[in-house]
Amino acid sequence: NPKGNMEGVEKAEELISKQHRKEKKDLQAKIQSMKNAVPKNDKKRRKQLTEEIAKLEAELTQKHEEELKQLKDTVATDTEDVAANGLENLVLDSEEQKDVKQTRVSKAQKRRDKKAALEKERETRIAEAEIENLSGSRHLEQQKLSKMLAERQLQIKHIPSDGHCMYRAVEDQLQERGGSYSLEQLRGRTAQYMRSHIDDFLPFLTNPNTGDIYTPDEFENYCNDVANTAAWGGQLELRALTHILQMPIEVIQADSPVVVIGDEYEKAPITLIYMRHAYGLGEHYSSVEPLKEETNEEDS
């Protein structure tokens, strides 16, 4: 029944449009709450807030576009099914056709409702987390680091939190000096150096379950992880890198003095940022770059 199909499509479009309007309204309410939580005279927090709001709005727009596309795809599939099974549908009595249609709509609607509910819950968690971050330990740590770096005419250059952050930060600093070490080369050379200087590193590695110093096999597995996986790097790997690069590495932290590793080398150090609260997973390394002039921001 083409007329019935069209009515069903129009009803589905009306429902999804209504849902989208409600979600936009809910998001605007959350955004207003986020704005109210930040003083208008705090330029940095307002700037961060503007970025987070833009991110939330972009995610909602993308979600709505995907749902509309899914609806169109469902309609197209249903139309093809009707054409392919036209003869079969003719022999179904009217009651059977009604049952089939109701079942199909019900399952599709349940899937859409479930997806919408999950997305709404996710958006709520994101909004709440961002509000908390504006006054939480992550934000305070970033404020301290920004102030420390500004005194050097520097700012944080963010590095992805993917397990490779320390090596990526070193790679970024070397590229600024015209270096050509890749992430893979840095990991491979670090593992190679640690293997060839086992006595310098083995005493500092212990089995977390027993507390015993690593066995040679455990140490080899550790080095394999350094070379071939996204295992996080720390002070031991930085120590190896200073010898490989023949230059110091300074690490700036918010609540501790600057640490310089490899200060026996006379070259100017490369600079990393160590953050304890940057991500939910915990510790994170970033790079630095020259301080950029801040643009004036209109309060809204």
- Mean pLDDT value of segment 63-84: 69
142 close to 133: Cβ distance less than 8 angstroms: no
59-64 mean pLDDT:
85
Final residue in a domain of this structure, among 35, 67, 99: 67
Q: What is the residue whose two structure tokens read 């390394």?
A: 285
Find the catalytic residue in 64, 164, 165, 223.
165
CATH code for the domain in which residue 232 is found: 3.90.70.80
Q: Is 223 annotated as catalytic?
A: no
Given 64, 164, 223, 284, which residue is catalytic?
284
Nearest to 246 by CA among 183, 294, 177, 292: 177
> Taking the CA of residue 146 as centre, how many other CA atoms within 13 Å lie in the half-sphere pointing to its CB?
11
Q: What is the pLDDT of residue 9?
A: 64
Is 197 known to be catalytic?
no
The conformational region for residue 62 under phi > 0 = left, psi -120 to 50 = alpha, else beta, is: alpha
Phi/psi zone of residue 160: left (φ > 0), alpha (ψ -120 to 50 degrees), beta?
A: beta
In a domain, 110, yes or no: no
Annotated catalytic residue, options 162, 199, 212, 255: 162
The answer to whether residue 132 scores a pLDDT higher than 90 is: no
119 vs 87, more confident: 119
Q: Do 148 and 265 belong together in one domain?
A: yes
pTM for the full model?
0.54
Residues 283 and 191 in one domain: yes
What's the pLDDT band for 57 if we cut at 50, 70, 90?
Answer: confident
Of 48, 67, 86, the residue that ends a domain is 67
Q: Return the pLDDT at 172.
A: 95
**How many whole angstroms separate alpha carbon 253 and alpha carbon 260?**
11
What was the pLDDT predicted at 136? 64
Domain containing residue 12: 1-67
Task: Give yes or no: 165 in active site.
Answer: yes
